[in-house]
């Protein structure tokens, strides 16, 4: 059975030789949505505060666990709200690629199934609401 909460820890290495844009953090799947907590490594003369981007399950379009031989394991998060990812170093339009830490590999492999489950729950809830609304309309017509 799939649990309601899941945490995947990641570390994206620096993107240049000076060590800029080195990011560590956690991607949390909670009951209500997805939270991306990340902290960019501080620079010599500048402290960078930790950031959090929150998404509802309806905003998250895809989570893919990429597991290739002899390559770092990645979790790709794609969202309908690209403006929430603008502060994340290395983010593409509406998508981030997170390099999963070894201790979170099992949880990262479960993440796509959890997202699919949450999408199915939301669809079922929406369908039930429409049925209740339709019944009310039919009862009021009688």
pLDDT digits 0-9 by tens, 4-30: 789 999 999 988 777 788 999 999 999
- pTM for the predicted model, two decimal places: 0.83
In a domain, 115, yes or no: yes
Confidence tier at 1 by pLDDT (50, 70, 90): very low
Q: 53-81 pLDDT, tens per residue?
A: 999 999 999 999 999 999 999 999 999 99
Within a domain: 1:
no
- Which pLDDT score is estimated for 135? 92
Cβ-Cβ contacts under 8 Å for 54 (sequence gap 6 or more): 33, 34, 35, 36, 84
- Across the chain, the runs of DSSP E, i.e. the strands, are 6-12, 23-29, 33-40, 51-56, 60-66, 74-79, 95-99
Computed over every residue of the chain, the mean pLDDT equals 91
Query: In terms of residue numbers, what domain contains 57?
Result: 6-141
133: domain CATH number is: 2.30.29.180
Within a domain: 12 = yes
Please give the tally of structural domains in the chain: 1
* 51-54 own/partner pairs: CB under 8 Å, 24+ apart: 51/87, 51/88, 53/84, 53/85, 53/87, 53/88, 54/84
pLDDT digits (tens, 9 = 90+) for 104-122: 999 999 999 999 999 999 8
């Amino acid at each position: 059975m799939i649990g309601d909460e899941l945490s995947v820890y990641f570390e994206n290495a620096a993107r240049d030789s000076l060590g800029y844009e080195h990011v560590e953090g956690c991607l949390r799947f909670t009951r209500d949505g997805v939270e991306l907590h990340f902290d960019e490594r501080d620079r010599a003369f500048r402290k960078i505060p930790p950031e959090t981007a929150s998404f509802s399950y309806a905003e998250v379009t895809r989570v893919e666990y990429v597991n290739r031989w002899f390559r770092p394991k990645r979790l790709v998060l794609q969202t309908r709200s690209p403006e929430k990812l603008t502060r994340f170093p290395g983010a593409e339009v509406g998508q981030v690629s997170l390099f999963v830490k070894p201790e979170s590999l099992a949880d990262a492999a479960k993440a796509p199934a959890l997202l699919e489950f949450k999408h199915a729950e939301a669809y079922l809830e929406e369908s039930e609401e429409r049925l209740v609304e339709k019944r009310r309309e039919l009862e009021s017509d009688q």
